[in-house]
């Protein structure tokens, strides 16, 4: 099981950062990142243990983890949105996406990983990210945009899901043409995108610490 791949160390680093900066995060909407990151790290380690140590399939695990990730990011956007239309779209996603996931698990089974989760979820995250950036552009801000914690989270979510969506859109072409039958290219892309995503979380936590200190001063 050890050593762990680099992307898991980044996820652990983000978790440790959320603990280190908890005093600042606990007073903000970002406080939900601590339990979320605990869940993600535990899921990653469990998935790796199942596949590496027990030689058991772990697709069933990610059938639950991946949808919950998209729902968590959607919650973050919901807590930061100002426009009614954006809030309505998130509420709609909260209803439709879990229903779709449940239907897929019933029809295809728990042990088959539905890649459509990635395609649909990543597309919606791109839409939510761009909507948030448009909101920021239209607002009169008291602080520079790069000092805003949610800006960095949005950037991380946007870049990660843009990369995943681009690959998954072409995945059937790659696999059918024997360009990535073992999904080695996908894992390579995904693991590098994870580094960007969790680095953005760490930056966001640091920004929250700075913002919190500024308010106290």
What whole-number distance in Å separates Cα of residue 34 and Cα of residue 97? 24
Between the alpha carbon of residue 41 and those of residues 45, 65, 158, the distances in Å are 6, 11, 21
Q: Count the neighbouring beta carbons within 10 Å of the beta carbon of residue 182.
A: 8
Q: Is the pLDDT of residue 202 over 70?
A: yes
Q: What digits encode the pLDDT tens for the residues 64-114?
A: 999 999 999 999 999 999 999 999 999 999 999 999 999 999 999 999 888
Q: How confident is the model at residue 144 (pLDDT cuts 50, 70, 90)?
A: confident
Coil, strand or helix: which one is 57? coil
- Whole-number pLDDT of residue 185: 75
Q: Is the pLDDT of residue 37 over 70?
A: yes
Residue 112 lies in a domain: yes
With beta carbons less than 8 A apart as the criterion, state whether 90 and 77 touch: yes
**Residue 143 vs residue 214, higher pLDDT:** 143
Residue 217 lies in a domain: no
Percent of the chain, pLDDT > 90?
Answer: 75
- Whole-number pLDDT of residue 157: 98
- Give the length of the chain: 217
Q: How confident is the model at residue 217 (pLDDT cuts 50, 70, 90)?
A: very low
Count of structural domains, the chain: 1
Range of the domain at 82: 6-212
Residue 63 lies in a domain: yes
With beta carbons less than 8 A apart as the criterion, state whether 129 and 157 touch: yes
HSE-up of 43 (CA within 13 Å, CB side)? 19
Q: Is the pLDDT of residue 216 over 60?
A: no
What whole-number distance in Å separates Cα of residue 15 and Cα of residue 54? 26
Query: Tokens 């909101």, residue?
Result: 135
Statement: the pTM of the whole predicted model exceeds 0.85: yes
Q: Is the pLDDT of residue 30 over 50?
A: yes
Counts for the chain of helices (H) and strands (E), in that order: 8, 0
**DSSP classification of residue 52:** I
Q: What digits encode the pLDDT tens for the residues 150-192?
A: 999 999 999 999 999 998 887 766 666 666 656 677 788 889 9
Closest CA to 129 of 155, 104, 100, 108: 155
Closest CA to 104 of 57, 66, 73: 66
Q: Is the pLDDT of residue 215 over 90?
A: no
Cα 116 from chain centroid? 16
Q: Is the pLDDT of residue 128 over 90?
A: yes
Residue 1 lies in a domain: no
With beta carbons less than 8 A apart as the criterion, state whether 29 and 79 touch: yes
């Amino acid at each position: 099981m050890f050593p762990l791949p680099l992307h898991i160390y980044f996820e652990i680093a983000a978790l440790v950062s959320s603990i280190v900066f908890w005093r600042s995060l606990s007073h903000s909407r970002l406080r939900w990142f601590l339990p979320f990151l605990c869940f993600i790290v535990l899921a990653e380690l469990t998935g790796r243990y199942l596949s590496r140590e027990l030689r058991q399939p772990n697709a069933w695990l990610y059938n639950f983890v991946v949808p919950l990730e998209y729902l968590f990011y959607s919650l973050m956007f919901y807590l930061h949105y100002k426009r009614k239309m954006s809030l309505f779209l998130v509420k709609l996603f909260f209803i439709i996406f879990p229903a779709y996931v449940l239907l897929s698990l019933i029809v295809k089974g728990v042990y088959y990983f539905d890649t459509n989760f990635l395609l649909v979820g990543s597309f919606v995250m791109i839409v939510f990210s761009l909507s948030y950036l448009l909101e920021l552009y239209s607002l009169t801000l008291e602080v520079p945009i790069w000092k805003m914690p949610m800006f960095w989270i949005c950037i991380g979510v946007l870049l990660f899901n843009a990369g995943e969506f681009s690959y998954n859109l072409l995945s059937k072409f790659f696999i059918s043409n024997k360009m990535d039958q073992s999904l080695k290219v996908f894992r390579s892309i995904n693991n590098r995108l994870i580094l960007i995503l969790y680095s953005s979380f760490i930056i966001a936590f640091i920004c929250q610490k700075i913002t919190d200190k500024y308010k106290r001063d």
